[in-house]
Amino acid sequence: MEGQHSLTEMRKTVDSLATLARQLYEASEDFPAVNRNIKRVLASVEMLKINLEET
Amino acid sequence: MNREVPYWNPYLERLTRDSLERLQLKKFKQIVNWAYDKSRFHRALYQSAGVHPDDINSLADVGRVPKVEKAMMQPIQRKDPFPYGDALCVDLEDVCVFRQTSGTTGQPVYQPDTWQDWEWWSDCWATLLWAQGYRPSDRVFLPFGYNVFVAFWAAHYASEKIGCETIPGGVLDTKSRILKIQELQATALMATPTYVLGMADTARNQLHLDPAALPITKITCAGEPGALIPATKKRIEEAWGAKVYDHAGATEIGAWGFECASQPGALHVNEAMFLAEVEDVETGKPVTEPGQRGKLIITALDRLAQPCIRFDSKDIVEIGDDRCECGRTYKLFKGGVVGRADDITKVKGVLLAPSAIEDVVRSVQGLGNEYEVIVDKKGDVDNITLKVELIEDQAGTAMEELKAELATQLRLKTNLGYNLEFFPPKSLPRYEVKARRFKDLRKRGI
Strand partners, B277: B297
Helix (H, G, I), strand (E, B) or coil at A12: helix
Is the distance from CB of B155 to CB of B168 less than 8 angstroms? no
Contacts of B92 (CB under 8 A, 6+ apart): B81, B84
pLDDT at B54 > cutoff 90: yes
DSSP state of B79: S
CA distance, residue B215 to nearest chain A CA (Å): 33
pLDDT value at residue B342: 76
pLDDT digits (tens, 9 = 90+) for A37-50: 999 999 999 999 99
Q: Which of B283, B292, B273 is nearest to B334 (CA)?
A: B292
Give the nearest partner residue to A43 out of B12, B22, B115, using CB atoms: B115
Predicted confidence band at B356 (pLDDT cuts at 50, 70, 90)? confident
- 3-class DSSP state for residue B418? coil
**B23 chain-A contacts, CB cut-off 8 A:** 53, 55
Categorize the per-residue pLDDT at B445 as very low, low, confident or very high, splitting at 50, 70 and 90: very low
Q: What is the DSSP letter of B107?
A: S
Q: Which residues of A touch B302 (CB under 8 A)?
A: 50
Q: Under 8 Å CB-to-CB from B147, ≥6 apart: which residues?
A: B170
Instruction: Over range B60-78, report the average pLDDT.
Output: 94
- Residues B88-109 have pLDDT tens digits of 999 999 999 999 987 766 789 9
CB B12 within 8 A of CB B286: no
User: In this predicted structure, what is the pLDDT of residue B388?
Assistant: 94
pLDDT band, residue B140 (cuts 50/70/90): very high
Task: Name the residue in chain B with its Cα closest to that of A42.
Answer: B116
Looking at beta carbons, which residues of chain B come within 8 Å of A39? 115
CB B124 within 8 A of CB B254: yes
Residue B282 reports pLDDT greater than 90:
no
- Residue A5: the pLDDT is 67
Say what the pLDDT of residue B446 is: 40
Coil/strand/helix, residue B273: coil
Distance from CA of A30 to the nearest CA of B (A): 17
Answer yes or no: is pLDDT of B401 > 80. yes
The confidence score (pLDDT) of residue B381 equals 81
pLDDT 10s digits, B242-255: 999 999 999 999 99
Beta bridge partners of B168: B142
Q: Which residue has the higher pLDDT, B165 or B348?
A: B165
Over 50: is that where the pLDDT of B57 sits? yes
* Among the partner residues A40, A47, A53, nearest to B120 by beta-carbon distance: A47
Mutate one of A35, A37, A45, A50 to test the B interface: name it (highest B CB count within 10 A): A50
Chain A partners within 8 Å of B115 (Cβ) = 39-40, 43
How far apart are the C-alpha atoms of B396 and A12, rounded to whole Å?
75
Q: Quick check: A10 contacting B, CB < 8 Å?
A: no
Closest to B143 measured CA to CA, from B222, B87, B42: B222
Is residue B139 classed exposed, middle or buried when 0-12, 13-18 and 19+ CB atoms within 10 A define those classes?
middle
B25 touches chain A (CB under 8 A): no
pLDDT tier, B76 (very low <50, low <70, confident <90, very high otherwise): very high
Please give the single-letter amino acid code of residue B393.
Answer: D
In the predicted model, is pLDDT for residue B393 greater than 50? yes
Q: Tell me: the pLDDT tens digits for B7-20?
A: 999 999 999 999 99
Report the predicted TM-score, pTM, of the whole model to 2 decimal places. 0.88
Mean pLDDT of B252-275: 97
> Over the stretch B321-342, which tens digit does the pLDDT of each residue have?
878 999 999 999 999 999 888 7
Most trustworthy range by pLDDT among B174-183, B342-351, B389-398? B174-183
Query: Is the pLDDT reported for residue B394 higher than 80?
Result: no
Which distant-in-sequence residues (6+ apart) come within 8 Å of B87 by Cβ? B39, B40, B41, B42, B73, B76, B77, B306, B307
Q: B115-131 and B153-162 are packed helices; what angle lies between their axes, rounded to 10 degrees?
A: 70
Q: Is B415 on the interface with A (CB under 8 A)?
A: no
Given CA atoms B338, B343, B346, B352 in this order, what sign does their dihedral have? negative
Sign of CA dihedral A12, A13, A17, A19: positive
Confidence of residue A1 (pLDDT cuts 50, 70, 90): low
As a whole number, mean pLDDT of residues B125-145 equals 97
Instruction: Provide mean pLDDT across the span B208-232.
Output: 95
pLDDT for position A10: 97
The pLDDT of residue B107 is 83
pLDDT of residue B351: 78
| Mean pLDDT (whole number) for A22-27 | 98
Do residues B235 and B280 touch, judged by C-beta distance below 8 A? no
| Chain A nearest C-alpha distance from B266 (Å) | 24
Assign B201 a pLDDT band (cuts: 50, 70, 90). very high
Over residues B193-204, the mean pLDDT reads: 93
Helix-helix angle B230-240:B193-206, to 10 degrees: 40
Q: CB-based contact (8 Å) between A53 and chain B?
A: yes
* Mean pLDDT, all residues of chain B: 93
